[in-house]
Structure 1
Amino acid sequence: MFHLYLTLAYTIPNIYVFFRINHLFIGKGYKLWYTLIYILLAAVYPLNRYLPDNDMNLEMQILDTVSGYFLPFYLYLFLSVLVYDLFLLLNLLLNVVSAKTRKLFLYRFYSLSALIFLSVAVVIGGVINLNTIRVSKYHVILPKKNSNIENLRVAFVSDIHIEQNLNLGFLEQFVQKVNALQPDILLYGGDIVEGDNEHETSEAMESVLKQVQTKYGTFGVVGNHEFYGGQEQGIFFSRAQITLLNDTIINIDNAFYLAGRYDQHFRNRKSIGEILQYSSAELPIILMDHRPTQLQEVSQTAVNAQFSGHTHNGQLSG
């Protein structure tokens, strides 16, 4: 269902882009070829989403990987064309570029090339950013209470959006970085798995994630994308030896409490009060909630620290 909505969100802007490029830049002698090529390329992503996931050969794997870049490319092409249209509206007042100039072949060629180049450049930059794992370090002071530890090193990761075409080397690099930090515990903040079915992940991916080494273990919560893809039951997490905390709280070796909430997508999730009723005030309480919302409510409870994702580095600066 998630990919159905995504396909609709992909198709509607594409219709706009198709007609605007056709009107603004394509000469009469090239319109048929333009139409055929555009439809062929634009159809790659939605068609690939509905192909069977099992037993893909090399060619299908390449197609699956390439199609994953079509979605952001057409998104930024849509935005680029939209900005160009805004420029044309402004040009009606300022007359920076005359109507005669806009009809010239070279002007149309270079303008269209610039829009395509800009979209490709942004996607390439996004791919580089995606595959560059950065570690941000924070020092947080919590009340010790009756905890039997003096310090706690927490590794937290969120919004990986693992798909079938994810490079296994990325996960291997991730595990190496986590292990190099020597964390006491690893927390997953949700949106770890993408996709409409369990075939979006593989045994190899699960095997890599099981190589994480911590003192207290690996825990996580589900995000909205796990619900979109039907992964909220936690099959992948169980196989990867990640303990899901779904509206529950546990005592970690009499050192602290760790609580986890269902994502807000789950309408029947418990209130923070219902979850905390199984804890005491004798130990620090750490909470995981995929979305950084209801912070005012949480701040009025015994929770000492909350870990959230969802905003892709939007809730904290630096």
Structure 2
Amino acid sequence: MVINMVKQMTRRRFVKGAFGAFLTLFGIGSGGYVYAKQIEPSLLDINTQEVQHPFIPKSFEGIKIVQFSDTHLGFQYNLRQFKKLVKKINELRPDVILFTGDLMDRPNKFTEINNLVPLLQQLHAPLGKYCIYGNHDHGGYGSNLYRNIMETANFDLLLNESKAIKLRDGSHIYLVGIDDAMLGRPNMALALKGVPVNSFKIVLSHAPDLAETISQYPVQWQLSGHSHGGQVKLPFIGALVTPPFGRKYTEGLYRIGQDQQLSLYVNRGIGTTRLPFRFLAKPELTVFTLKT
């Protein structure tokens, strides 16, 4: 079944929300403005989650997965900063690395691709590096450019397809990657083709708000980005800037479905877009440890 999607972004609503967030920060005063523009975007939360399910083979106990997302290189986030991020990810000693979309803010305008690829190549994970498309990866005629960058950097790009992560004893789990909801054509049925029903599966979807649809399939976890945690939040109000397909689930862990059969984790991402601010929505790396 092909997931229904809106083909055109509601740009006016998103820009209006971003402008409102800017006015809010301006109203907080110069201190809040400086913090949101210069301090919080350079901070980094490393959040940890245990992933436990009966379908996880015993040999996968302790396997470590690191997710990063939404770097938006070229918009207030540069390769000098990205180099530090690569170092930090490698220090976490992941077995698997997942990138859940939006590498460059405007792919056809980014001029440092020759320097970007070697940095991506430095990321090390013995069980593989995997990625999916975000809306910015498709935008700006970037679809082929993004694919070439990631595959040259030894990432497996999952486009409505699955990949088994196998250990030496023959045990395995599956990664299931679907296309972006805004500018792509996500297709869960195609992505799951040939994947055993009673296997442990992690779905990579840039857009978190596809979770209700994804929960109708025999999968256990979904990892997403896209929302930036709202990018600008206020106490008791919440996220002020949320994109299409990232408005309902903005950050952290959710249980989805009538029986809460799907666990959704939404990563706040690394960079910013449209507005160079983060307020109460710090950049994030997420470390998932498998438990049996």
| TM tier, smaller | 0.5 to 0.7
**Judging changes above 3 Å, is the alpha-carbon distance between structure 1 residues 202 and 166 closer, same or farther for their aligned structure 2 residues?**
farther
**Which residue of 2 is the match for residue 315 of structure 1?**
251
| Residue deviations 1:76-101 (CA, integer Å, cap 9, x gap) | 79626xx9xxxxxxxxxxxxxxxxxx
Letter of the 2:163 partner, please give it: I
Q: Does 1:298 align with 2:214?
A: yes
**Which residue of 2 is the match for residue 262 of structure 1?**
179
**Judging changes above 3 Å, is the alpha-carbon distance between structure 1 residues 135 and 145 closer, same or farther for their aligned structure 2 residues?**
closer
CA–CA distance in structure 1, aligned partners of residues 202 and 44 of structure 2? 25
Equivalent residue pairs, number: 217
TM-superposed CA distance for 1:235, in Å, is 2.2
TM-superposed CA distance for 1:287, in Å, is 0.7
Letter of the 2:155 partner, please give it: I
TM-superposed CA distance for 1:117, in Å, is 9.4
CA–CA distance in structure 2, aligned partners of residues 248 and 77 of structure 1? 37
- 1:172-183 equivalence runs, <5 A: 172-183=83-94
Q: Does 1:79 align with 2:23?
A: yes
Q: Does 1:211 align with 2:122?
A: yes
**Which residue of 2 is the match for residue 249 of structure 1?**
162
Query: Which protein is richer in strand relative to its size?
Result: 2
- The percentage of counterpart residues that share the same residue type is 23
**Judging changes above 3 Å, is the alpha-carbon distance between structure 1 residues 222 and 275 closer, same or farther for their aligned structure 2 residues?**
same
TM-superposed CA distance for 1:237, in Å, is 1.6
**Which residue of 2 is the match for residue 138 of structure 1?**
49
The DSSP-based 3-state class of the residue aligned with 2:106 is coil
The DSSP-based 3-state class of the residue aligned with 1:136 is strand
Q: What is the root-mean-square deviation in Å for CA atoms of aligned residues?
A: 3.2
Letter of the 1:301 partner, please give it: Y
> 1:245, 1:261 within 8 Å by CA — same for their partners in 2?
yes
> 2:178, 2:186 within 8 Å by CA — same for their partners in 1?
yes
- 1:149-164 equivalence runs, <5 A: 149-163=60-74
CA–CA distance in structure 1, aligned partners of residues 22 and 222 of structure 2? 37
| Residue deviations 1:178-232 (CA, integer Å, cap 9, x gap) | 1111111010111122114164442222211211111212111111111222222
CA–CA distance in structure 1, aligned partners of residues 107 and 34 of structure 2? 24
| Residue deviations 1:161-188 (CA, integer Å, cap 9, x gap) | 0118743221121111111111110101
> 2:135, 2:184 within 8 Å by CA — same for their partners in 1?
no
**Judging changes above 3 Å, is the alpha-carbon distance between structure 1 residues 164 and 292 closer, same or farther for their aligned structure 2 residues?**
closer
> 1:186, 1:217 within 8 Å by CA — same for their partners in 2?
yes
**Judging changes above 3 Å, is the alpha-carbon distance between structure 1 residues 154 and 79 closer, same or farther for their aligned structure 2 residues?**
same
Letter of the 2:251 partner, please give it: Q
- Flag the structure with larger Rg: 1
- Residue segments in structure 1 that go unaligned for 5+ positions in a row: 14-71, 84-114
Q: What is the TM-score normalised by the length of structure 1? A: 0.59
> 1:156, 1:186 within 8 Å by CA — same for their partners in 2?
yes
TM-superposed CA distance for 1:124, in Å, is 4.7
**Judging changes above 3 Å, is the alpha-carbon distance between structure 1 residues 78 and 235 closer, same or farther for their aligned structure 2 residues?**
same
The DSSP-based 3-state class of the residue aligned with 1:246 is coil
Letter of the 2:212 partner, please give it: Q
Q: Which moved more, 1:120-129 or 1:224-233?
A: 120-129
**Structure with higher RCO (Cα < 8 A, 6+ apart):** 2
CA–CA distance in structure 2, aligned partners of residues 166 and 267 of structure 1? 25
